[in-house]
Amino acid sequence: MLSIQTTTSYSEIDSDVDGLPDELSIKVSMPVTSPTKRVLFLGSLSYELDDKVRMAMKGVIGVDESSGIGATGEIIVEGVIGVGD
């Protein structure tokens, strides 16, 4: 079984300074020792709103990226998820 040590970090972004997060910035990184030509990332998230409207949402994030030239060292997947009005 293949086991890869990943590092995951996220931060909430309040673009309109109303005290509520508008975006979620996510970064996942993993070391690779041999040339890697394809990365498939699948993650899930959930969030709730309680102030003006009571709402609970769940979502899935998927990234499938490939390259003809293999990457070595560290692979980083970064993205921003926005909650629009």
What pLDDT score was predicted for residue 50?
Answer: 75
| Chain segment 18-69, per-residue pLDDT in tens | 887 888 898 989 888 888 888 888 888 887 777 777 888 888 888 898 888 8
pLDDT for res 85 = 55
First to last CA, the chain: 44
Per-residue model confidence (pLDDT) at position 3 = 63
- How much is the pLDDT for 51? 72
Domain ranges of the chain: 7-82
| Residues 64, 54: Cα–Cα separation, whole Å | 33
Quote the pLDDT of residue 84: 60
Give CA–CA dist 83/80, Å, rounded. Answer: 10
- Kindly report the pTM of this predicted structure: 0.66
